[in-house]
């Protein structure tokens, strides 16, 4: 796997280079010291993965991520001195398609690197997820006329469930900020995001919308006016009692938390109507779960290609014919408001 390093700090560059080479699984494709250099290098030689710093001279990491994903898209991992400190920039970069973020490993006097294990784990996960991209065929999808699925589920208990990944923070911001304070349907979200900054994401979303956004805790019940967000690296599920809980199983699942596992638990245990959404993201997580919702007569939505930062998960859903409607991002909130008015 050919990996590019984008960082203006020589010590950080050396730390990243050494950890990559010593792992034996990766080679350094090229090194850039600011975002503009990275954009130019990527035009000449697109690597398998870019390690992108956020704060740099000439052009910072968020803008570089935007330009690269628009012109020469490839997997980007944000690597910065403090993910928590730069949470806003992390979410902005993820909105443009960056896959994840991690703190820069720090070399010590004995040659070891603090944070090395977490850093290599992130890269290994991205490598695994990137390989699934090649198995998804590129297809042209035209937006059909929006329709409402007529279901046999008459209960007034109606739950909105959302799965998202790369590009998800900005997509969620767009949808949630457009919902009114009186929106009557509870919402639960599984976003592929590291537990280190899931709390920052919930606070950021909470500030921008009229509903209350919080990290889902064990025992929480979905309720109107509340948006629950998965907040650990374990899987968020709905249990038999209709409460949220976290589970480590299945351990071997590449996506943590997994949208499919969450969707499956909701299908099994929610006693009422369900609307399921699958937003921007890499890979196929959530597509099979969305199909199961549709097969049971529930209304399903996939984000359209044009508005996705990374058209992977919604594309997989479209290939399975799992979406009742394929909608642009700016139309999804309007659809949810219409559904809420029917309650």
Residue 94 has pLDDT above 90, yes or no: no
Task: Calculate mean pLDDT across residues 278-291.
Answer: 94
Q: Which residue has the higher pLDDT, 277 or 118?
A: 277
Q: How far apart are CA 295 and CA 317, in angstroms?
A: 13
CATH number listed for the domain at residues 158-341: 3.40.50.180
Give span(s): CATH 3.40.50.180, the chain: 158-341
Which pLDDT value is given to residue 129? 72
Which pLDDT value is given to residue 96? 87
Nearest to 259 by CA among 314, 308, 206: 314
Which pLDDT value is given to residue 334? 95
Q: How far apart are CA 248 and CA 35, in angstroms?
A: 38
Which pLDDT value is given to residue 253? 84
Per-residue pLDDT of 156-200, as tens digits, reads 489 999 999 988 998 999 999 999 999 999 999 999 988 878 898
Confidence of residue 246 (pLDDT cuts 50, 70, 90): very high
Confidence of residue 273 (pLDDT cuts 50, 70, 90): very high
Q: How far apart are CA 81 and CA 90, in angstroms?
A: 12
User: Is the bond into 256 cis (omega within 30 degrees of 0)?
Assistant: no
Per-residue pLDDT of 111-158, as tens digits, reads 566 778 889 988 988 887 776 543 333 333 333 333 444 444 433 489
Q: Give pTM, 2 decimals.
A: 0.82
Calculate what percentage of the chain has a pLDDT beyond 70: 91
**Which residues are CB-contacts of 124 (< 8 A; sequence separation ≥ 6)?**
none
Which pLDDT value is given to residue 112? 64
Nearest to 293 by CA among 315, 276, 270: 276
- Is 202 among the catalytic positions? no
Give span(s): CATH 3.40.50.2300, the chain: 2-133
Q: SS3 string of the chain?
A: CEEEEECCCHHHHHHHHHHHHHHCCCEEEEEECCHHHHHHHHHHCCCCEEEECCCCCCCCHHHHHHHHHHHCCCCEEEEECCCCCCHHHHHHHHHCCCCEEEECCEECCCCCEECHHHHHHHHHHHHHHHHHHCCCCCCCCCCCCCCCCCCCCCCCCEEEEEEECCCHHHHHHHHHCCCCCCCCCCEEEEECCCHHHHHHHHHHHHHHCCCEEEECCCCCCCCCCEEEECCCCCEEEECCCCCEEEECCCCCCCCCCCHHHHHHHHHHHCCCEEEEEECCECCCCCHHHHHHHHHCCCEEEEECCCCCCCECHHHHHHHCCCCCEEECHHHHHHHHHHHHHCC
Which pLDDT value is given to residue 132? 54
Classified by CATH at the fold level, domain 2-133 comes out as Rossmann fold (3.40.50)
Per-residue pLDDT of 27-42, as tens digits, reads 999 999 999 999 999 9
Q: Count Cβ atoms below 10 Å from residue 249 Cβ, excluding itself.
A: 10
Arithmetic mean of pLDDT over the chain: 88
Q: Count Cβ atoms below 10 Å from residue 10 Cβ, excluding itself.
A: 9
- The active-site residue out of 173, 192, 235, 292 is 192
Calculate what percentage of the chain has a pLDDT beyond 90: 66
Q: How far apart are CA 187 and CA 160, in angstroms?
A: 5
Confidence of residue 10 (pLDDT cuts 50, 70, 90): very high
- The active-site residue out of 15, 130, 164, 165 is 165
- The active-site residue out of 285, 292, 304, 307 is 285
Which pLDDT value is given to residue 56? 96
Which pLDDT value is given to residue 166? 84
Confidence of residue 261 (pLDDT cuts 50, 70, 90): very high
Confidence of residue 285 (pLDDT cuts 50, 70, 90): very high
Q: Which residue has the higher pLDDT, 120 or 95?
A: 120
User: Measured between alpha carbons, how far is residue 31 from residues 45, 65, 66 in Å?
Assistant: 11, 15, 19
Confidence of residue 99 (pLDDT cuts 50, 70, 90): confident
């Amino acid at each position: 796997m050919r990996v590019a390093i984008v960082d203006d700090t020589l010590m950080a560059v050396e730390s990243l280079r050494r950890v990559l080479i010593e792992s034996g699984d990766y080679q350094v494709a090229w090194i850039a010291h600011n975002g503009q250099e990275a954009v130019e290098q990527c035009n000449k030689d697109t690597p398998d993965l870019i390690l992108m710093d956020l704060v740099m001279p000439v052009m910072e990491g968020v803008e570089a991520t935007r330009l690269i994903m628009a012109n020469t898209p490839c997997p980007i991992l944000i690597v910065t001195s403090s993910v928590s400190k730069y949470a806003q920039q992390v979410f902005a970069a993820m909105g443009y398609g960056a896959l994840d973020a991690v703190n820069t490993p720090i070399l010590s006097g004995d040659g070891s690197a603090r944070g090395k294990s977490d850093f290599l784990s992130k890269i290994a996960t991205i490598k695994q997820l990137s390989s699934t991209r090649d198995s998804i065929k590129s297809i042209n999808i035209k937006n059909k006329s929006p329709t409402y699925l007529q279901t046999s589920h008459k209960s007034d208990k109606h739950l909105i469930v959302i799965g998202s990944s790369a590009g998800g923070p900005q997509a969620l911001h767009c949808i949630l900020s457009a919902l009114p304070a009186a929106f009557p349907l509870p919402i639960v979200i599984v976003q592929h995001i590291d537990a280190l900054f899931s709390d920052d994401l919930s606070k950021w979303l909470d500030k921008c919308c009229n509903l209350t956004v919080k990290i889902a805790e064990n025992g929480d019940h979905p309720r109107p006016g509340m948006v629950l967000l998965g907040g650990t690296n374990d899987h968020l599920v709905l249990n038999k009692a209709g409460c949220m809980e976290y589970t480590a199983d299945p351990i071997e699942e590449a996506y943590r938390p997994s949208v499919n596992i969450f969707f499956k638990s909701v299908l099994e245990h929610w006693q009422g109507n369900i609307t399921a959404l699958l937003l921007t993201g890499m890979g196929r997580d959530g597509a099979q779960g969305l199909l199961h919702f549709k097969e049971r007569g529930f209304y399903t939505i996939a984000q359209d290609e044009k508005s996705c930062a990374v058209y992977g998960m919604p594309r997989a859903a479209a290939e399975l014919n799992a979406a009742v409607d394929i909608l642009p991002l700016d139309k999804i909130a309007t659809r949810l408001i219409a559904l809420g008015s029917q309650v």
